[in-house]
Every structure is written in structure tokens, then in C-alpha cells.
Copies of this chain bind each other. A is one copy, B any other.
Amino acid sequence: MSFQNPVFIPGPTNIPESLRKACDMPTIDHRSPLFGQILHPARAGVQKVLKSNSAEVFIFPSTGTGGWETALTNTLSAGDKVLAARNGMFSHRWIDMCQRHGLNVEIVETPWGEGLPADRYEEILTADTSHEITAVLATHNETATGVKSDIAAVRKALNAAGHPAMLFVDGVSSIGSMDFRFDEWGVDVAVTGSQKGFMLPAGLAIVGFSQRAMDATSKGTLPRTFFDVHDMAKGYANSAYPYTPAVGLMNGLNQACDMLLGEGLENVFARHHRIAEGVRAAVGAWGLDLCAADPSVYSDTVSAIRTPNGLNATDIVTHAAEKYGVAFGVGLGEVAGKVFRIGHLGSLTDVMALSGIATAEMCMVDLGLNIQLGSGVAAAQEYYRGHSGAVQKDAA
């Protein structure tokens, strides 16, 4: 195993030195007051990263998938109707989870590469005059296609339809990296994990509940224990936990929030945008297309890059790993073999991004694509030169 090169997968991201140290903690007694000194600021930090003044933040030893299950099982009952669009692998999986839990999902099939169709949501919600739809599911950033959706527009659709459904947002690959406005967008449940914008190892599901979602928990009858937010809330009130917490990761989360808020959320978002723009400049110079249909949906955390017919995009990923020791993301589901993905979120610099771009170039040339070596790098360099930002602080 070699750890020399940065990874360019869309999460888990490269981990800053200081956060690795924060996670690598000796055992403390999680029933002692020490634990509260980690728990409470971590929850407060996440609330700020969500741009919320009131979201109840829950942190589970789990992953984003567990966060989805937390959203569903605490607020809904078997047979409840939910509205969701499928425009990529992760929205697909959330829909699948709903179905496994006995929910009735109205699915809006959406081309992979496009954002969530807020207009279709509005039509359906408007037509649902009996308010059968209990919740609307929205994937903020489709990690599989590199597509960002407009959550504000989904909120507008709900409002325009005068519909009381709750809004559940999968922000796994957006929160902490791209602008997310829990309060302003009227989000009811936001879901993320530790291993993306928070730059930590995987192992935490991080969830925010609005007051409305908290109210819904008394009605939802889906069975849950591990993911029960009542148990969690009761524990938090005593600076405790309903079971054994992942203390080191939570300590890391606390410090990750400090890092993000210390840099300034808008600066964090600008940094992600800058690095993403460089990658996109490279893709343009290569003459390739993004999976994302148009610039309005370009994701600042991951780019899915279409390869020409005849080249299995997965070969690029395999080749990069084997020959150069560099990890990119493969295409998933419908776009398997058609795209490869460059993750550009979390702890990353322009300089690191350039090494990923340079590697992708070598791989494509190695595999016979008609790409000019250095071309993508030059396009990204030109962008980075003109838009350089502060070097990220990492006090270790």
C-alpha cells in the first residue's frame, strides 16, 4: 500500500494532518464530562456549517446511507408516499431504500446528467391536493454524475404548490464544500457523512432535523432503534449517547468545523469552485464532455468526464491505479464505463489538482486517446494562476 499520491475520488477525501491527529485519540470515558466537551461543540459546528440557527444535529457512528435511513425511519410510516427524482446512482439508492422500507415512492425519472426537475416536482405537488405526499427527497449533489441541483427551486416548488410535505435533502457530497442553506431553503432533514466536506475518515452519519421533522418523529411508525433520534436527543441532553460513540471521529468533526468556519464557509466554497473550474478547464482543453448537462448543474466537488465511444472509462481508473498509483472514481450504474470521475473536494490544493489532471492526461494518452500531453494542465494552470486563493490553514 502506498500513501504518497493524493486521492481523487469523490470521497473519502484527503485528510488534513490536523484532522488525522484529532481522530487518533486515546480512549476517554464517554460517560464523563469530557465527552460533552466534544459532543456539544461538534453539534454546534455542524449547525453553523448547515447555515441553520435551529436544526437539531444528530451524529451517528454510521455513514451517509445510515443518515438517509435516519431521515426516513424517524419521520415516516409504511405506506407513506414520498416524491423523488432519479438522476443518478445515489438518488437511485435512496429510492431503493424507501421501497425496502415499504414507502410508496413517486419517482420522476430524470436523465443522468441533469439536475432535479423542480418544475415537475411543482406539477406533481400541485396535483396532490389531498397532500398524500409526506416528503420530498432531493439529492443536492449527485456524486455519480457530478451534477448539482437547485434545492432553493425545490423549496419554491413546494411553496408554489402550497404543499406541506417535508423536504429531505441528501447533502452528502455538498455540505461543507458547496453552499447549503438549511434554514433559508426550508430543509427538514439534511444528511451527510464525515468523509466528504468534513475531510474525515468515513464512519459518521451527520443529520440535521428541522422542528417540523422533529414533530413528525412522533407520528412515524417505521421501526428504528439504532437510528432513533429520540434516544439520541435524550442522550445529548445529558452530554451522553445511547450507546458507545465514535469519540475520535467526533473530536475530528469538532475540529473540522473549526477549520471550515475558521477559513470562512464562503471561502471554502470559493476554493472548491476554483479548483473545480481548473479541472473543467482541463476537460475542455482535452475536448471531452462532462456528464453534467450544462454549466448550471456543474458540481464543484466532483466531475464525471465522458470518454469517447470505444474507450471503457473504467480502464482509465484501473490504469491510473496500477501504473501511477492514483485513484480516480469509476462510473456507476447507467454511466458505468462511460465516465470516469475526478473528485475535487475536501482537503485539496490547486497544486494537488494539477497532479491529478496530469495523471489523467498520461492515462488517456497511454490508452490511445488523441489528447495532447500538458494541454489540460496548461488550461488549469492558466485558470489557477489568475484565480489563486489563500493556502488552506492546517494547524497541526
Contacts and interface: CB of A to CB of B under 8 A. Distances in A.
A13 B28 CA distance: 9
B385 A374 contact: no
Contact of A244 (B17, B31, B193, B228): B193
Contact of A225 (B23, B100, B330): B100
Contact of A17 (B3, B73, B225, B330): B3
Nearest to A224: B100
Contact of A349 (B5, B13, B34, B329): B5
Secondary structure of the A contact surface, majority rule:
loop
Contacts of A395: 1
Interface residues of A, number: 104
Interface string A184-208: 0000000001010000011100000
Number of identical protomers: 4
A107 interface: no
A244 B12 contact: yes
A302 to B, nearest CB: 14
A37 B9 CA distance: 19
Contacts of A225: 65, 68-69, 96-97, 100-101
Interface string A372-396: 1111011101101100100111111
B351 A27 contact: no
Given A5-B352, A381-B362, A32 B244 contact: no
B393 A32 contact: no
A368 interface: no
A175 to B, nearest CB: 15
A361 interface: yes
Given A223-B222, A246-B201, A4 B358 contact: no
B226 A62 contact: yes
A226 B224 CA distance: 12
Interface string A305-331: 000000000000000010111110110
B4 A244 contact: no
Nearest to A102: B223
Given A244-B64, A325-B349, A385 B358 contact: no
Interface of A: 1-5, 7, 9, 11-17, 20-21, 23-34, 37, 61-66, 68-69, 73, 78, 96-97, 100-102, 193, 195, 201-203, 222-228, 242-249, 321, 323-327, 329-330, 347-352, 354-355, 358-359, 361-362, 365-366, 372-375, 377-379, 381-382, 384-385, 388, 391-396
Query: Nearest 10 A-B pairs (CB), nearest first?
Result: A374-B378, A29-B327, A374-B374, A325-B391, A355-B355, A202-B244, A65-B243, A203-B246, A3-B26, A373-B378
